[in-house]
Amino acid sequence: MAHRVCPWWLGLFLASPIRKLRHNPLEILRPYVREGMIVLEPGPGMGFFTLELARIVGEKGKVVAIDVQKRMIESLRRRSQKARMNDRIELRLAGPAGMGVSDLVGKVDFVLAFAVAHEMPDIGQFFKESFEALKANGKLLLSEPADHIEESEFNESVSLARSAGFTMTERPQIKSNLSAVLAKSAPGKQ
């Protein structure tokens, strides 16, 4: 099911402000992210959502952005410094065995998986790591481009998320995407 990873140079287009006409980060994130939260963002690219996440979580929050491509991380580092957000954005390079977030177990409030799950070499592992990183009642927004992913593939991803322990709570309408909000229910409420 995994597709090839988006090339680093395409990140230049994906980080363009013109993209806001299609996917306005504030509109997409505002229902789920609040000040003071810890947010995990796998596959941030050059930070189209990352900088807005950092603005929303504020000085008391943190965004942990993890990518497999060093060039994406380097570009995001420059952009976060220019925006004076580097104190609330932690950048990590993912390893071959997964995201490497064992230090975040039970600490994350929200995971943004926007147009990235289909690029994961092991999507089941991705959902397992995300589930473990989330606090009880934490949420994951899974949103995949409908022009890259068939509905059946998306449903398979949701099924893998359920196998990891997630419950689907809603299907938000995000332009040109297939989307679901997945929750980690508090113990005893699954």
The amino acid occupying position 98 is: G
Q: Check if the beta carbon of residue 36 is closer than 8 Å to that of residue 61.
A: yes
Domain assignments of the chain as residue spans, ordered by start:
24-183
Residue 189 has pLDDT above 80, yes or no: no
Residue with tokens 């060039």, as numbered in its chain: 71
- Per-residue pLDDT tens over the stretch 149-183: 899 999 999 999 999 999 999 999 999 999 999 99
pLDDT at 83 over 90: yes
pLDDT of residue 1: 47
Q: How confident is the model at residue 34 (pLDDT cuts 50, 70, 90)?
A: very high
Under CATH, to which class is 24-183 assigned? Answer: alpha beta
pLDDT of 187 reads 60
**Interval 103-153: pLDDT, tens:** 999 999 999 999 888 888 889 999 999 999 999 999 999 999 998 889 999
Question: What are the structure tokens assigned to 109, written together?
Answer: 């409030």
Q: What whole-number distance in Å separates Cα of residue 177 and Cα of residue 6?
A: 17
pLDDT band at residue 24 under the 50/70/90 scheme: confident
Nearest to 57 by CA among 29, 77, 78: 29
pLDDT average, residue stretch 61-66: 98
Q: What is the model's pTM?
A: 0.87
